[in-house]
Chains A and B, each alone.
Chain A
Amino acid sequence: MSARPSTFAERGAAEVGSDKAKAVGDGARHLTEKRAAAVVAYPAMDAMRDRAREIRLHTLANLDTYVARFADAIEALGGHVFFAADAAEANDYIRGVAETADAELIVKVKSMVTEEIELNTVLEADGRTVVESDLGEFIVQLADDRPSHIVAPVLHWTRQDVGRLFADELGVPYTEEPTALNQIARTHLRRIFLEADMGISGVNFAAASTGTIAVVTNEGNGRLTTTAPRVHVAVMGMERIVPTLEDVGVMLEVLGRSATGQSLTTYTNLITGPRKQGDPDGPDELHVVILDSGRSTVLNDDVSEVLACIRCGACLNVCPVYRSVGGHAYGDIYPGPVGAVLSPVLFGFDGREQLPYACTLCGACLEVCPPRIDLPRMLVNLRERVAAEGDAFSWLGPAMKAYEFTATRPVMWRGAVDGASLAGKAKRGGWFTRLPGPGKAWTAVRDLPAPSRQSFRRWWKKNHGA
């Protein structure tokens, strides 16, 4: 949500070929391969995806009912529910909870929605210490960097980068051995988990019927964050709801496989209310913050299905554009194809006009999306909105008008084709290597063959014409 000094095309152009972008490309390809292997090993995947889609769309169509049911269930369990209309309301509420709990040290488990509302900045401004406990987010925080992927925040980092960071920031001897790096983070974080006054998590899924919150991780940090501190605050976009615990099960079947190729994430926490009488552990207080922040508007427009997203990141991993530019070029915390839809509709088009165009419409994302969200169609829909307000590329409007004018007048079109053939004759079948004006962008990276000296239609007329 920060100001973007440039366009997507400019940021992307600056990123392509960089070590960072290469690391993302390699990581994304690796994750795509892992997903593919997991799908092969799980014949029910297609049917589960259909089921997941049904559940998500049914929930979105009845979101009011399920959100209310979920809130009732949480309250019946002794938890607190807060509906936040926007980021500011959510942040204010959580500040208040931290204030009341006198929470000096707050530990967090990776959560996209808290990135979205920039919660850390707000809590830190109040003098509180906020520590990210997901290894990737921990690295991002330590380096004052930004996540480049919604599941793997440091996909743009190499393990050598991490080794150097830990040596510099944590005063440990340099190592690039993943197990050793993990151990360093683990040792550092263990004290934080035990001393933290408050834990903040996101919510992968929330079951309306039972008030159960699912938080999945591969590092166990989710379990520690949501059980060790006195207070647990769970923040969720209002679309995280599914009707029942059984539906959560369906979601988990497709989430792990789509995200990392795992049949199930290593730690799956199902949290049903705060600590009860006789429970050996768990927080005394549970606060669930349900965030709207633009979602109810999206719910009523032609890209509403994007709210069915389960944040697996499979569309990022398979996207050729994302693989080439990495996550930061998108400018917001939601990168890749889903980000190109989500960011403009959640945060506004201003400065994001090019995001819907950050796509070749190759359709690879739709092929892997668990709930089969038609992101390519949505990107075209969003392009229509951008075009209606003034184009993302200044030449586009006039060019499309001229093109339509010619293409709906066959005689004029034939003239245009003949004109191209004339240019082809002049060029003697050669290549253009540096074109001015509208051709400049083409020849920036590739040559253009001269048009043929005789178009197909001329040849046809000569050989087949009546």
Chain B
Amino acid sequence: MFIGAQPAHSSQRLSLVGVEAPGTAQLFVTCIVDAFYPQVGRAVVDVLESRGVAVEFPEYQTCCGQPAFNAGHRKEARAMAAHTVKVLDATDGPIVVPSGSCAAMIIDHYAGLLGDDEELAAAARRVGARVREFTQFVVDDLGVDELTSSASGPVTFHPSCHGLRHLGLGGYGERVLDQVGVERKPLVAADECCGFGGLFAVEMPEISGALMDTKIDHVEATGAGTLVGYDMSCLMHLAGGMRRRGTPVDVRHIAEILTDEDES
């Protein structure tokens, strides 16, 4: 079911694929994608538009505030949550987030963070109910049947923790990859944390590095040339570790696998 479907009142670039447009979606792109991996944002836009979804990008969006929340800086996290809720509550339709972690932050923690303000908390609940991690939106709202990919693989897939455990995305990414016929090598201990952990990566770098090395060992053992995931923050950490180790494996967001767009 397409939740929160709205007429595309300000649709810019409607799909040419010919599928009846199911409505408008908001893209909450996340800071890492915005600054480091814009190609992921573009791939998300491509995938959604190819399925007839008009995409909007609320330009006043910043960061969801998760680093501050996880660091125990509730006041700062609250301010960022309030900002994000105001920006997103002024829009319509599902809010697609190419990150399980940022999506979980909004869904699981915003209403509590803003609990001291009834109006904001209500807005947070409204926003939270509209938020979809990208894979979740594709599988649950759009359906996987028409997905295609020009990628051949082999790839391996890392399900990042917050998507897996907060959003219940176990099997989603794998299902999408299998549906589009990309050769997928199973990843041993796939559900074990990669060691990124947000600020944990810089608070305790040696320990974070040890977890990362375990994950990279498992990735190397698959023989796959590409590591696919749905959280660029974990993938950025792993890409950095693989480059440091000389592991010849690229990282890709799952949206990139579903588009033809070349890496820029």
A interface residues, Cβ below 8 angstroms from B: 8-9, 12-13, 16-17, 21, 29, 320-321, 323-325, 354, 356-364, 366-367, 380, 382-388, 392-393, 396-397, 400-401, 403-404, 406-408, 410, 413, 417, 420-421, 424, 431, 433, 438, 441-442, 444-449, 451-452, 454-457, 459-461, 464
Contact = CB atoms under 8 A, between A and B. Distances in A.
A380 B236 CA distance: 24
Contacts of B35: 417, 420-421, 424, 451-452, 455-456
A442 B206 contact: no
Contacts of A456: 29, 33-35, 38, 41-42
A8 B206 CA distance: 11
B19 interface: no
Contact of B240 (A380, A387, A449): A449
Interface string B74-112: 111101101100010000000000000000000000000
Contact of A457 (B34, B36, B196, B201): B34
Contacts, number: 216
Q: How large is the interface on B (under 10, 10 to 19, 20 to 34, 35 or more residues)?
A: 35 or more
Secondary structure call for the B interface: helix
A404 B79 contact: yes
A387 B71 CA distance: 8
B192 interface: yes
Contact of B36 (A8, A444, A449): A449
Interface in B30-44: 31, 33-39, 41-42
B38 A446 contact: no
Given A385-B72, A460-B41, 7 more contacts: A360-B193, A360-B200, A407-B83, A408-B83, A444-B205, A446-B212, A457-B57
Label chain A's interface by main secondary structure.
helix
Most-contacted residue by chain B among A357, A406, A446, A460 (CB, 10 A): A446
B119 interface: no
Interface of B: 12-13, 29, 31, 33-39, 41-42, 55, 57, 59-63, 65, 67-77, 79-80, 82-83, 87, 161-162, 164-166, 189, 191-193, 195-212, 214, 236-237, 239-241, 243-244
6 contacts: A360-B211, A361-B161, A396-B203, A406-B62, A456-B35, A459-B41
A396 B200 CA distance: 11
A406 B79 CA distance: 11
A431 B240 CA distance: 8
A129 B120 CA distance: 64
